Structure 1
Amino acid sequence: MTTRTVYHIGLDGVPPHLLEEAITRGYTPELADIRAEGASGTTKTVAPPLSMAAWCSFSTGRDPGAHGIYNFILREEGSYKTRFANGDILHANSIPIWDYLDSNGISTGIMNLMAGYPPSESSGFHIGDIVTSPPDGSFIYPNILAEEIEEKVTSYELDQYTPYTPDKTERQLQKYLDGLFRMDEERTNIGKYLIEQTENSVYSYVFSAPDSIQHCLAHIRDESHPEHEPGLVETYADKPLELLTIYDEFLGWLRSYMDDEDVLIVLSDHGHSPVHGQINLNSWLYNNGYLSLESTSLTKLKLFGYNHLFNTFEAILHRLDLFGTVKEAVAKAEGDDEDGDKSDNYGLKDLLTISRMDYDWNETVAYTIASGGQIYLNTSNDHPAGWITAENYDDIREALRKDLLNIRDPKTGDEVIENVYFGEEVYSDEYKNTRPDLIALPVDEYQIQYPQTMKTKEVFGSAPKPGSHSSEHDRTGIFLALGGGANGQDVKMDITDYAPTTLGLLNQPVPAPMTGSIRDDVFDVDATVSEYDGRVAAKRSVRQVTKTVKNS
């Protein structure tokens, strides 16, 4: 067994061009040194580039088809129901790297890594992520660690800051940024404390603010953005670069703390590109005959509201600082029916959005359940009212693919969808029963909207409001590494490569189910691949029995 420690520092959403600008302009000398002395390149992430699916692939070494977390919102097998991704689902579907290591007596320290709630009870510590962790829940394991962190450093704060939107003042924008900077400054201090006070072989920390600040300020940095605010450029355009100095200081501290045999890996789960226009795929599916709606009074009422009143209602929620809260509550809400088909029971999501309860499933061909462009066909083998059979599946799917590729922007005539992949082209088969049938990826500067806000009279939207995703994820993140023989420039890592490579760096066998590669071309590793021997599941079962006894 090695005495080496591997440190993963995730800078959520940092694109290569932002890192290059930060290094060139002198904001990040530590990152410049790491790039010069070690290995560097890019990280190719999942399709579509969504943080939930990407970080789950990072931790399991498997593509979304092999861990089943395709998006933030997931379709339940054999049902029209959906559920919000979380740590329980990840553990039920796959095995994160910390569970493999735990089964071999190796402890880990995890902070803010999706899907991290409930936190894993593996040896070491586990702090839940900002998306799946409830503010009032116990998202730190062991529980006593939360009190220790608050006493010795500061209270651990989840991401609860309300983003800036154009109907707010510049003072509110500054307040938002102050909170964002403070949150991650405190998080780096907590990270330092935990490294100093605990002994783990792997530390995986993810810092989310880089993603948030780019979503918020892209229209200020992008002079061609339709919502560009030139009056704010001088004060705010460099804020994303200034934010990176927080992590650069932390990396400098970490490098001075590390031993010679330790390994430091810096990565992002995706990049960022500007957004100048939007399309709602469910609206497009409806207007092109692929999605049908019921004619009930409730459905008609909701359609009138979204077509004529939604923009005003959204603006009011923003002014009251409630939009983010309501949006999150609706996204995480579950339906109440038990059989996965329609019933008289409506959940919060079903009452407030154009949902599965409004679709005429006897006529619907295809639908989406979340942003990102993942489309499901209403197949007879895994939908309660599905009618598409194996005999007509291929023809219908190919026809839809061609129609999607022919979508044109009504103002410019330019294409909107760059590529449409079949599910099996990008995802493996383990969770094929909940796998999207098609994945439509938009061209640069276009975003696919959340389907729940579909308007039957509006397929295309203008540029997102500032502060509300005025940039969007792309599939290219960053990669830098130091130690462990790391070498090479222009290295092309896949998000699934990190888990097996980390096991190799710790001289641990790599489980055969991992779909990522052991990157012995980048690091000095001589890893073996072994079949999973069941010890992880056995240990997990013991913990579950113990937990049941404690709660009885």
Structure 2
Amino acid sequence: MASKKYDMDGFKLFEKENTLRVLQSTVPPISNPAWATVYSGLTPKEHGLIDFTSINKNYERKLADYNTDELPPFWDLLAKTGHKSLVMTPVMVLEESLSPNVDMITGFPTPPRFSSKEVEVASKKFGFDGEPEIGNGLSTGKISIEEGSRAYLDATKKRAELSKYLIDKNNYDLVFVCFSETDRIMHYTLTLGSLEGLIAPIFEEISKFLIYLDERIKRLEEEAVFILMSDHGASATHYKFIQNSWLINNGYATLKESVNTTPVASNKDSISTKIKSKVVDAVVENKYRRVIYSKLPRSLQKIGEGFIEESQNLEIQGKYIRISESDLDMPKTRAFSSVSTGSTGMIWINDSRFSNPCVKSDEKEPLINEIIEKLGKESFIERAYKGSDYYVDSEKLIAPDIIFDLKEDYTSDFTGYLKDKFIVEPEISRRGDHTKEGIFGIKYYNAPKIPGKIELKDIYPMVLKYFGVKDTK
């Protein structure tokens, strides 16, 4: 990000090395599958993570976290060979490392967990409590976007200062620090005119941290490699494609007769709305919204999901109705969208993999081709293609049958419906969304250069090779 007002010299370190380049993300360009590829060296087809959730045979979405026991990340492999690491807030790693050689604070989307009492005490010393939750406050008008930006900036500063404290105190072989606030703030701001003042201060704080790392590495006068990367890019979005509305309006999915299809305008002054808003505020402030639903009884999962839906509904009331998979008449639904939102969407054929199938095996392939062809004719679709190009069915994953990429300026959602319409204005939290183009930069300090094109899956073997550690998978 270029800026005359803000100091971005930390990023210029990589420009001077002439190593700053585009790094292609995963399909879809979502943090969970992307970071899983970085941690494990496996493609999404191999590790089976397609988004933050997956769908089961009963059409239920479950949280899909990165399991470090099944797929040991590079820092745990390094730990087994005596290398010590600092791993700060890795996205979708929900359990702290048990190795004494790994100092860790877990990251988005759950409250932080600590690998040791020492790390927890240090975190409290700097007042770092993970990424702040600002979504509900913004959607209800409780806080302004400026206040939300300042909250993200404060968390970024605290993470940087805590990381510097731990780095200076310990002799780490590897340091991994993830700043998730840069991703989150862009979702709320990219269509706003006052963009620089909301985003640039956060990047400036990261730039200062990059300069600190560069200067510290130079003082060591040892062999080192310094990598800067993002798991995806971001762009502004002015339009939202509601996927299941398209499928319903084109005759591929059917709503249950009991579903009220009339959008209801919100009355912010009503007692009901005020009570709902206060309940959601309390839930978010106490971080129950971030509970790992897949590890709770289904009855408690539904309560938690209800709180999230109340938060989301406050943004979309009067625009369209919010629906879920349970609102679809599955015995009459041939195809439905689920799980993925953003610049890439996914569609499942309702076949024998599900509990209420509507499509026979000999009907599936022609139906896939028909939907792909029809999607391809829509002006907002960049490309539609078969899901089998990227994912396969497994014990853990029912793979999507169709994937589609939207054109620039569009995002998508599978949880909405509006009769005879499927393009709407995005809510506050969708003013920006992910693109496939992330960034990668590398700087060498007395170390041999790594030749060739770099992809996300190359980070894992690159790290292991640098330390002379063999991959045990």
TM-score, scaled relative to structure 2: 0.83
Q: Which residue of 1 aligns with 2:78?
A: 101
Q: CA deviation at 1:444?
A: 0.5
Which of 424, 429, 435 lines up with 1:474 in the alignment? 435
Q: After superposition, where does 1:115-514 map in structure 2 within 5 Å?
A: 115-122=92-99, 123-131=101-109, 133-134=110-111, 139-151=113-125, 153-162=126-135, 165=138, 168=141, 172-221=144-193, 233=194, 237-258=196-217, 259=220, 260-295=222-257, 299-301=258-260, 303-304=261-262, 307-309=263-265, 322=280, 325=284, 329=289, 333=293, 347-348=302-303, 349=305, 354-370=323-339, 371-372=341-342, 373-380=345-352, 382-407=353-378, 415-427=379-391, 433-449=397-413, 451-456=414-419, 458-462=421-425, 464-465=426-427, 467-483=428-444, 484-486=447-449, 492-511=453-472
Q: Which residue of 2 aligns with 1:50?
A: 30
Q: After superposition, where does 1:512-523 map in structure 2 within 5 Å?
A: none
Query: Could you tell me whether the CA contact under 8 Å between 1:162 and 1:321 is conserved in 2?
Result: no
| CA deviation map 1:389-432 (0-9, x unaligned) | 4322211111111111122xxxxxxx111111212213467678
Query: Could you tell me whether the CA contact under 8 Å between 1:107 and 1:201 is conserved in 2?
Result: yes
Q: Structure 1 pair 263/345, CA: closer, same or farther in 2 (3 Å)?
A: closer
Q: CA deviation at 1:82?
A: 1.7
TM-score, scaled relative to structure 1: 0.72
Q: After superposition, where does 1:61-80 map in structure 2 within 5 Å?
A: 61-76=41-56, 78-80=57-59
Size of the aligned set, in residue pairs, is: 446
Q: CA deviation at 1:93?
A: 5.1
Q: Structure 1 pair 430/359, CA: closer, same or farther in 2 (3 Å)?
A: closer
Q: Name the amino acid aligned to 1:252.
A: I
Partners of 2:102 and 2:364 lie apart in 1 by: 48
Partners of 2:230 and 2:38 lie apart in 1 by: 10
SS of residue in 2 equivalent to 1:48: coil
| CA deviation map 1:506-534 (0-9, x unaligned) | 112235xxxxxxxxxxxxxxxxxxxx3xx
Q: CA deviation at 1:83?
A: 0.7
Unmatched segments (≥5 aa) in structure 2: 310-321
Partners of 1:472 and 1:505 lie apart in 2 by: 34
Partners of 2:75 and 2:348 lie apart in 1 by: 32
Q: Which moved more, 1:53-62 or 1:95-104?
A: 95-104
Query: Could you tell me whether the CA contact under 8 Å between 2:75 and 2:102 is conserved in 1?
Result: no
Query: Could you tell me whether the CA contact under 8 Å between 1:44 and 1:492 is conserved in 2?
Result: no
Partners of 2:415 and 2:288 lie apart in 1 by: 12
Unmatched segments (≥5 aa) in structure 1: 1-17, 222-232, 339-343, 408-414, 512-531, 533-552
Q: Name the amino acid aligned to 2:461.
A: P
Q: Which moved more, 1:118-127 or 1:467-476?
A: 118-127
Q: Structure 1 pair 288/475, CA: closer, same or farther in 2 (3 Å)?
A: same
| CA deviation map 1:33-56 (0-9, x unaligned) | 232136221110011211122111
Q: Which residue of 2 aligns with 1:514?
A: none
Query: Could you tell me whether the CA contact under 8 Å between 2:243 and 2:416 is conserved in 1?
Result: no
Find out whether 1:29 has 2:6 as its counterpart.
no
Q: CA deviation at 1:487?
A: 7.0
Partners of 1:455 and 1:317 lie apart in 2 by: 27
Partners of 2:146 and 2:467 lie apart in 1 by: 44
Q: Structure 1 pair 159/350, CA: closer, same or farther in 2 (3 Å)?
A: closer
Query: Could you tell me whether the CA contact under 8 Å between 2:146 and 2:198 is conserved in 1?
Result: no
Q: Name the amino acid aligned to 1:86.
A: D
Q: After superposition, where does 1:83-94 map in structure 2 within 5 Å?
A: 83-87=62-66, 90-91=67-68, 94=71
Query: Could you tell me whether the CA contact under 8 Å between 1:38 and 1:487 is conserved in 2?
Result: no
Query: Could you tell me whether the CA contact under 8 Å between 2:131 and 2:181 is conserved in 1?
Result: no
Partners of 1:507 and 1:45 lie apart in 2 by: 27
Q: Structure 1 pair 369/334, CA: closer, same or farther in 2 (3 Å)?
A: farther
Q: Structure 1 pair 454/346, CA: closer, same or farther in 2 (3 Å)?
A: farther
| CA deviation map 1:235-282 (0-9, x unaligned) | x53442232111111111111211331111001111111111111101
Percent of matched pairs sharing the same residue: 20
Q: Name the amino acid aligned to 1:64.
A: P
SS of residue in 1 equivalent to 2:356: coil
SS of residue in 1 equivalent to 2:190: helix
Q: Which residue of 2 aligns with 1:229?
A: none
Q: CA deviation at 1:500?
A: 1.2
Q: Which residue of 1 aligns with 2:91?
A: 114
| CA deviation map 1:130-162 (0-9, x unaligned) | 21x13xxx61112442123323x3343432235
Query: Could you tell me whether the CA contact under 8 Å between 1:58 and 1:496 is conserved in 2?
Result: yes
Q: Name the amino acid aligned to 2:65.
A: N
| CA deviation map 1:84-107 (0-9, x unaligned) | 1224xx336533222332333333
Q: Which residue of 2 aligns with 1:13?
A: none
Q: Which moved more, 1:206-215 or 1:99-108?
A: 99-108
